[in-house]
């Protein structure tokens, strides 16, 4: 395993030493957090209202405005994400109630999602701990062992139309209405999902009463579906890229998997801003308590981190075909490569 030598930490520094370095960036600026929340929420509400006003002058004009509205809804999810890590305000009660409130807009039950996401962080890149909060990824051997029907099901699941189209719609509109995967994990996942469902129903009923059912659906569904697809895409390329790392214990370690199993999705500045710097995912996985607006500080102070797992927007398009983990080659491969080896 390679080590990284941070300029401020002396030579030979390991991934574990980076944990100590990054701890210096974990303190949030609460005024900055309030400002980020106010800007994002205000912009989303104004764009939502603009979409509603625009559809009266033409559906396609309203649909165009749905794109930036979806961007700000996605950004709200990134703020909710920071709340889940206790990184937004740095006070658990503030973070939790902010996350729960945002979850009504993002259709994401906060406490249920936070538990699943914590498991994802604890086990990312561990071949023995796949399945919770992850995109299902089979090894080459597991895929070969499937029946023809099983192989077809996996191919359909990993098809871009399903992964980034039907999948996000199912996830945000249907799956998250019940605590799937945590049905027997106590009351909290149920309370979280049911309370979020009730709040969503009240808010939707109020908007339908105000503008009508059809205008509500015409405005809100495109925004939710666009934001959901963008969110799933981001999560996908954060771990499904050519140089990612997967292994089994005892080779697997949290710190190495965090830094090398998550990408640095190097997006253009406007997209970095709207996505809450989540593309700096290797840093986030190594120290999830660093607030999203401090992640650029880390790269500024430690530019040697920028090339770890770096993929550009153009390069990320090629990640769609990488669907199987080849344990012998220790990399993701395409179905075409897998079939060529049969």
Per-residue pLDDT at 183: 83
Per-residue pLDDT at 338: 86
> For the residues 232-237, what does the mean pLDDT come to?
96
Per-residue pLDDT at 59: 77
Per-residue pLDDT at 132: 73
Structure tokens at 160: 């871009």
Report which of residues 4 and 42 the model is more confident about: 42
Per-residue pLDDT at 342: 65
Task: Confirm whether 1 is domain-assigned.
Answer: no
Task: Confirm whether 8 is domain-assigned.
Answer: no
What value does the mean pLDDT of the chain take?
Answer: 92
Structure tokens at 149: 């029907």
Task: Confirm whether 169 is domain-assigned.
Answer: yes
> For the residues 10-20, what does the mean pLDDT come to?
67
Question: Tokens 């029907």 belong to which residue?
Answer: 149
How many structural domains are present in the chain? 1
Task: Confirm whether 10 is domain-assigned.
Answer: no
Task: Confirm whether 3 is domain-assigned.
Answer: no
> For the residues 116-127, what does the mean pLDDT come to?
92
Task: Confirm whether 2 is domain-assigned.
Answer: no
Per-residue pLDDT at 215: 92
Per-residue pLDDT at 12: 39
Across 56-70, 85-99, 184-198, the highest mean pLDDT is recorded for 85-99
> For the residues 320-328, what does the mean pLDDT come to?
94
Q: Residue 125 sits in which domain range?
A: 15-340
pLDDT, tens digit, for every residue of 173-190?
999 999 988 887 889 999
Long-range contacts of range 218-221, CB-CB < 8 Å, 24 or more positions apart? 218/55, 218/59, 218/62, 219/48, 219/51, 219/52, 219/55, 219/62, 219/66, 220/48
Task: Confirm whether 192 is domain-assigned.
Answer: yes
Across 39-48, 93-102, 324-333, least confident range? 324-333
3-state DSSP assignment of residue 138: strand
Please confirm whether the linkage preceding 250 is cis (ω < 30° from 0). Answer: yes
């Amino acid at each position: 395993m390679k080590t990284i030598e941070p300029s401020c930490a002396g030579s030979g520094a390991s991934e574990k030493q980076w944990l100590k370095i990054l701890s210096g960036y974990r303190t949030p600026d609460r005024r900055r957090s309030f400002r980020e929340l106010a800007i994002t929420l205000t912009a989303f509400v104004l764009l939502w209202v603009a979409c509603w006003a625009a559809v009266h002058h033409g559906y396609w004009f309203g649909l165009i405005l749905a794109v930036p509205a979806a961007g700000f809804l996605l950004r709200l999810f990134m703020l909710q994400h920071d709340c889940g890590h206790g990184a937004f305000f740095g006070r658990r009660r503030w973070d939790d109630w902010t996350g729960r409130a945002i979850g009504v807009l993002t259709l994401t039950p906060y406490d249920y999602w936070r538990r699943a996401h914590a498991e994802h962080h604890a086990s990312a890149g561990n071949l023995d701990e796949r399945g919770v909060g992850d995109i299902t990824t089979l090894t080459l051997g597991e895929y070969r062992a499937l029946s023809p029907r099983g192989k077809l099901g996996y191919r359909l699941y990993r098809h871009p139309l399903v992964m980034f189209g039907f999948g996000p719609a199912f996830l945000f509109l249907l799956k998250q209405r019940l605590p799937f995967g945590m049905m027997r994990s106590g009351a909290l996942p149920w309370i979280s999902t049911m309370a979020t469902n009730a709040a969503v129903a009240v808010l939707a009923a109020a908007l339908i009463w105000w503008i009508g059912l059809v205008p509500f659906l015409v405005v809100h569904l495109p925004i939710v579906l666009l934001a959901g697809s963008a969110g799933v895409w981001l999560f996908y390329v954060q771990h499904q890229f050519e140089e990612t790392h997967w292994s089994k214990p005892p080779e697997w370690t949290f710190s190495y998997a965090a830094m090398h199993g998550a990408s640095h999705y190097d997006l253009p500045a406007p997209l970095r801003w709207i996505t809450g710097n989540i593309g700096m995912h290797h840093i986030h996985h190594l120290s999830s308590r660093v607030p999203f607006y401090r992640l650029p500080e880390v790269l500024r102070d430690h530019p040697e981190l920028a090339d770890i797992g770096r993929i550009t927007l153009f390069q990320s398009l090629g990640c769609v075909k990488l669907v199987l983990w080849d344990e012998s080659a220790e990399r993701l491969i395409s179905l075409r490569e897998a079939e060529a080896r049969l």
